[in-house]
């Protein structure tokens, strides 16, 4: 059987600021070994993690790649579930220090490859760029906080239009039809991120699903349906991967039921999803109620969209500054030392299959 690779985000830029799922995804109590990478931007952390992931794939293991919620092209962590091993970025904003040093976690210091004299000569530039980037993130979080409040205003206003009894009847039929669903707990991940490259989503669970339901959304009522569906599935004891929305983490944008391999995903207005079936939220709405509040709802929607645009513009500028800082650090790195660290980690994990790994790394395409 072909090994499976998945892509998720392990954190999010939310209405509450930066929110991380690192403690539960990379739990030191649940994993056997965790390599924590320390080093600045542009020091090769993502490249090192990709190398470990490619090695695992070459040996036939499933690999989870968890990407950065801000710089969405970079990795925050790699997880090899079958081995109980993870490699992760332990630098800000998801500062990770060992709970059980040596017994579980190992610190990998990429700073050992710095040309300190070169970095000290660029000291003022580095401080100025990082300070400006931090100010831009504070601005983005203010916009996201306001956008979240507007989205909650929309939900509060539209909620009385939701016909819960009709929705619950459909949900009950869906849950009772799942004969192959596995029993177990809930794993949380993010499928989407609000980052420096805009609003980014992965198709991981769509590719994994045998059947996909698109839940249409109008004024946040699709998320209300998803919340009730999640409670019903949890009540049935099904094993699930639940994906929260990046802006409001109490909202659910995707639910994947293990064993049944069925995915439910919210489809907002103006967005298309590759779905087998559609659950039209209009079936569960009092159109008369919405009609009487349509003006306020549309105004709030415009406000939310404008605030989100402000957040995205601030994040895009922060991304530009981050890229400039990465260039400074990259120019002061001895990447041969990073390669040595990567090879040492791979050797520790896969000591018995080095030839296969070498071939896999050479042939692997970028994730």
Predicted structure pTM score: 0.92
- In tens, the pLDDT along 136-146 reads 999 999 999 99
Q: Lowest mean pLDDT: which of 165-169, 197-201, 355-359?
A: 355-359
Sheet holding 85-89, edge to edge: 5-9, 63-67, 75-80, 85-89, 33-38, 105-109
Average pLDDT on 94-98 reads 87
Return the CA Rg of the chain.
22
How many Å apart are CA 244 and CA 230, to the nearest integer? Answer: 11
User: What tokens does 234 get?
Assistant: 């949890």
CB-CB contact of 48 with 36 (8 Å): no
Q: Over the chain, what is the mean pLDDT? A: 93
- In tens, the pLDDT along 17-32 reads 999 999 999 999 999 9
- In tens, the pLDDT along 41-95 reads 999 999 999 999 999 999 999 999 999 999 999 999 999 999 999 999 999 888 8
Instruction: Indicate the burial class of 93 (C-beta count within 10 angstroms; 0-12, 13-18, 19 or more).
Output: middle
How many Å apart are CA 273 and CA 191, to the nearest integer? Answer: 13
Does position 366 have pLDDT exceeding 70, yes or no? no
Does position 356 have pLDDT exceeding 70, yes or no? no
- In tens, the pLDDT along 243-280 reads 999 999 999 999 999 999 999 999 987 677 788 999 99
pLDDT band per the 50, 70, 90 thresholds, residue 358: low
Among residues of the chain, what percentage have pLDDT more than 70? Answer: 95
CB-CB contact of 101 with 107 (8 Å): yes
Q: What is the pLDDT of residue 365?
A: 46
Phi/psi zone of residue 152: left (φ > 0), alpha (ψ -120 to 50 degrees), beta?
Answer: alpha
Average pLDDT on 163-171 reads 97
Q: What is the pLDDT of residue 355?
A: 44
The Cα-based distances of 326 to 6, 223, 258, 319, 332 in angstroms read: 27, 38, 39, 10, 10
Q: What is the pLDDT of residue 96?
A: 87
Q: What 8-state DSSP symbol labels residue 161?
A: G
* Residue 33 phi, psi (nearest 5): -150, 135
């Amino acid at each position: 059987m072909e090994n499976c690779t998945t892509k998720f985000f392990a954190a999010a830029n939310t209405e509450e600021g930066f929110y991380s799922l690192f403690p539960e995804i990379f739990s030191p109590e649940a994993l056997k070994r965790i390599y924590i990478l320390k080093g600045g931007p542009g020091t090769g952390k993502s490249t090192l993690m990709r190398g470990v992931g490619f090695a695992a794939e070459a040996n036939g293991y499933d690999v989870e790649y968890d990407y950065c919620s801000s710089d969405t092209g970079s990795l925050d962590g790699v997880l090899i579930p079958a081995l109980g091993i993870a490699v992760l970025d332990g630098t800000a904003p998801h500062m990770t220090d060992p709970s059980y040093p040596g017994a579980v976690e190992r610190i990998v210091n990429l700073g050992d490859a710095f040309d300190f004299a070169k970095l000290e000569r660029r000291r003022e530039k580095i401080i100025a760029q990082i300070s400006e980037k931090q100010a831009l993130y504070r601005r983005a979080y203010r916009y996201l906080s306001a956008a979240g409040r507007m989205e909650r205003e929309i939900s509060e206003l539209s909620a009385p239009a939701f016909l819960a009894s009709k929705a619950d009847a459909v949900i009950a039929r869906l849950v009772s039809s799942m004969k192959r669903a596995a029993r177990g707990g809930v794993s949380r991940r993010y499928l989407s991120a609000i980052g420096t490259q805009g609003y980014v989503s992965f198709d991981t669970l769509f590719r994994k699903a045998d059947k996909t339901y698109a839940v249409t959304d109008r004024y946040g009522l699709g998320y209300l349906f998803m919340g009730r569906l999640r409670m019903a599935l949890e009540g049935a004891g099904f094993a699930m991967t639940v994906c929260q929305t990046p802006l409001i983490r109490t909202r659910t944008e995707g639910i994947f039921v293990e064993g049944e391999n069925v995915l439910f995903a919210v489809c907002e207005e103006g967005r298309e999803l590759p779905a087998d079936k559609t659950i039209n939220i209009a079936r569960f709405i009092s159109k008369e109620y919405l009609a009487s509040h349509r003006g306020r709802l549309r105004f709030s929607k415009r406000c939310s969209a404008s605030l989100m645009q402000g957040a995205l513009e601030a994040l895009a500028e922060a991304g530009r500054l981050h890229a400039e800082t990465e260039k400074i650090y990259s120019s002061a790195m001895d990447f041969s030392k990073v390669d040595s660290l990567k090879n040492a980690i791979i050797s520790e994990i896969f000591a018995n299959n080095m030839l296969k790994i070498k071939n896999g790394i050479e042939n692997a395409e970028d994730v």
